[in-house]
Amino acid sequence: MVVSMYVPALVVILNYVLNFKRNVFKNNNLGLRFVGMKYWLLAPLILLAIVASTYTIPFLFNTDFFKNTTEILTSTEKTGLGVGNWLLNLAIIFGINTLVAPLLNILMFLGEELAWRGFLFPRLLCLFGTKRSFIMGGTIWALWHAGGIMLGWNYPDHPLIGNILMILLCIPMGLIFQYLYFKSKSIFVPALAHGAMNWTAGNFIMFVLADPDYNKLIYGPTGIIGIIIFWIIAITLFRKMDWEKENTFSPNVSTAQNMPVNTLDKVVHNEKSKALFSQ
């Protein structure tokens, strides 16, 4: 799984170097910039809040969903980071895995974000308009995980339903990550958000949840509860941004003029549209 996360970015970089004959840093098309620093802090914290809500909501209806404080203290003390208080232990562990771990492992998460948020979506947006681009981009991102879902990732023993849920998850989650990228103008920001989501979800499973084998179709950030939360946030953010105006990719005038937009059959047969993926 870890190795596969590098593949999308590697394909983009190799295409830039070997096929497009262009520098990946040219015009900052892929967002490889150290800017928007406040989002480097905000993005992981936002994803922590989202992940926490996906587990806290079921806890409000069933307090047995979480370990008791004694069990949390025992499990967190085993990390070697404990200070004798269950709440402080959790604060330390979640703080490290929200803000530090994603930064130390940023190349892994950049492997996907560089391709999906930095390269693919901005070009889809030029071709198909906002709504269709998010649906297409999210579906492509989800299908990239299809093999892993079939092997039991995220939705053990539910390969078919799991892949359907993954598509329903990746569309709004992709929009949120894209929002963070367009606002910050740095591809490192959605990579940090991606990392924070993965690390903090793991923390909940290890240190907070009473049963690590909970129903993953319903609970957690990848379950139905999480999907609903992601959609609510995504719809809100969708209405707050002029996506085409904020697009980080601007095709050359020569390749963009008179290019049909939002008409799939014309775009497919228009050679000018192909030029968008060679810039």
Residues 266 and 176 in one domain: no
Q: How far apart are CA 151 and CA 159, in angstroms?
A: 7
- Assess if residue 4 is contained within a domain: no
Angstrom distance (rounded) from CA 115 to CA 126: 16
Contact 55, 209 (CB under 8 A): yes
pTM of the model as a whole: 0.90
Q: Give me the number of domains the chain comprises.
A: 2
Residues 109-168 pLDDT 10s: 999 999 999 999 999 999 999 999 999 999 999 999 999 999 999 999 999 999 999 999
Q: Please report whether residue 14 resides in a domain.
A: no
The mean pLDDT value for 54-83 works out to: 97
Domain identity same for 277 and 161: no
Distance CA 13, CA 114 (A): 9
Residue 271 shares a structural domain with residue 195: no
Q: What's the full length of the chain, in residues?
A: 279
Q: How confident is the model at residue 254 (pLDDT cuts 50, 70, 90)?
A: very low
107 and 208, same structural domain?
yes
Do 259 and 241 share a structural domain? no
* Within a domain: 201: yes
CA distance 226 to 46: 14
Domain hosting residue 276, numbered range: 252-279
- 23 belongs to a structural domain: no
Q: Is residue 2 part of a domain?
A: no
Indicate the SS3 state at residue 188.
helix
Residue 267, pLDDT score: 46
